[in-house]
Structure 1
């Protein structure tokens, strides 16, 4: 009797595994492929922080002239409820003023410093023209007006219901649902974004990334619908390599976490499955040719960089990755 039970158990398990592997390879037999209106091969981080003043109109314009597919930017809410484009909530690093954006009206936000450090290129500083018009903080509405059909990746930086609603209203006002991706690593923020406007393309939160890994190794991934459209992740091998240099502060993640992500998630077979389901995968923030090559060979849909010209030249010189 025990022998029969064991045989039945392994027969069922074998059947499940074979079915899972089959649908993992052919997911469109179950799921309709997501049809995004854009392709994000070349993404400019903060508009290209290594080539222009980050998150400014001049940066976005320059990136588009280079040929970027997508602009990445970050949003905060001012005291007078304006959606301003800025990565930092506090203005000390970017302007020298130790004050939060939420404490100031938009008109009172100072200009960016003439020189700005690069978060993802340790030890490097962008030195620009110094012109006041190039150093002005942009409003999200201004960006939408100037670049109406350009795909934009929006990181909602804080858990603020009014900020999420304001951004959603702007997306609706300029009919940008199909050309915008939004969310945050914070699952609470990302869920609120989806609840506010489920028509907008959605990023994976960190919690959903963990869920993705669990689904993959349990064999359930092929059978589970996914509402997210864009997987934006860091490349752990880059972080681990740079950690060998004690003076290089790169990402605020513990080495154990990075090694775990590298081992479980950064797998070409996972990315191939997601690509078949129409989910785009891009790595942030990569800034040299070796990193670009690693990402594309893993099957990434795109790369986010501080150096739009550098990535454009790489893609031109390596057409196999275009």
Structure 2
């Protein structure tokens, strides 16, 4: 059984670490997040040309390093030459899992090519019970679950859309069936002008047996509002703000 959601919510998920004084998705950012009291780390995975799972949100390093290096066509050894700032380079998923064994990791599979390398890294690090895999793609989520049947996953975009439709129609049994293979729904507070996270939707999702995590929440006032609605997790760039706020409640 996965240990990912043991302990009482609400949970603070450090979005790409704590990148106030460190590059996002770097080992330094993750260490800073844990130093700030976060025990859940959110990150993203791509695969290099030689099939190594690495932590990066974008397919290229243009935004974070000012270079158009594409991760998927670059060898792992060549990525090590790209400076993200503060002396940091793109970390491997396996090394991150091993370096921070007390952290629980929320891992977004960003490409089809990343699935098998990510699963391999998780198995090699013996981290299955402290990892949650997620993806906008239901195909990716299902493939990861097929390879790691015991791993926790959160709802893909397709599951979220079906779940919200069932919730709004009041179809409780259907909602429970739609969510039967996931442990959490991770959504923005609103999308396309529609409020996704309300007291009613949170209560319905809880009744269906899943947690509700909201991204990306960086202001203390909004954190309080969401916690008042009963959400179970805040995905935030500012875990240094969220951790003491949650602790105080």
TM exceeds 0.5? yes
Distance 2:125 2:77 in 1: 23
Paired residue for 1:233? 187
Paired residue for 1:101? 71
**Segment of structure 1 superposing worse, 168-177 or 65-74:** 168-177
SS of the equivalent of 1:142 reads helix
SS of the equivalent of 2:181 reads coil
2:125 matched to 1:183? no
2:167 matched to 1:216? yes
Aligned-pair distance for 1:51?
Answer: 4.0
TM-score (norm: length of structure 1): 0.69
Paired residue for 1:36? 5
Paired residue for 2:228? 297
Aligned-pair distance for 1:198?
Answer: 2.2
Paired residue for 2:216? 285
Pairing partner for 1:164 from 115, 132, 140 = 115
Aligned-pair distance for 1:277?
Answer: 4.9
Aligned-pair distance for 1:57?
Answer: 1.1
Contact 1:44 1:72 (C-alpha < 8 Å) held by counterparts: yes
More strand by percentage: 2
2:8 matched to 1:57? no
Distance 1:273 1:198 in 2: 26
Paired residue for 2:48? 78
Distance 1:220 1:200 in 2: 28
Aligned-pair distance for 1:112?
Answer: 4.1
Distance 1:98 1:35, change over 3 A: closer
More helix by percentage: 1
Tell me how large the CA RMSD over aligned residues is: 2.1
Contact 1:149 1:176 (C-alpha < 8 Å) held by counterparts: no
Question: Residue by residue, what CA displacement relative to the aligned partner does 1:233-285 show, whole Å, maximum 9, x if unpaired?
Answer: 1112xxxxxxxxxxxxxxxxxxxx5223x1xx322133224335542211111
Aligned-pair distance for 1:302?
Answer: 1.4
Aligned-pair distance for 1:35?
Answer: 8.7
Pairing partner for 1:111 from 72, 82, 86 = 82
Question: Residue by residue, what CA displacement relative to the aligned partner does 1:87-124 show, whole Å, maximum 9, x if unpaired?
Answer: 1111111111112111111121243444xxxxxxxxxx
SS of the equivalent of 2:90 reads coil
Distance 2:240 2:198 in 1: 28
Contact 2:4 2:132 (C-alpha < 8 Å) held by counterparts: no
Larger Rg: 1
Aligned-pair distance for 1:149?
Answer: 3.5
Contact 1:36 1:178 (C-alpha < 8 Å) held by counterparts: no
SS of the equivalent of 2:192 reads helix
Aligned-pair distance for 1:145?
Answer: 0.7
Structure 1: gaps spanning 5 or more residues: 1-33, 115-129, 237-256
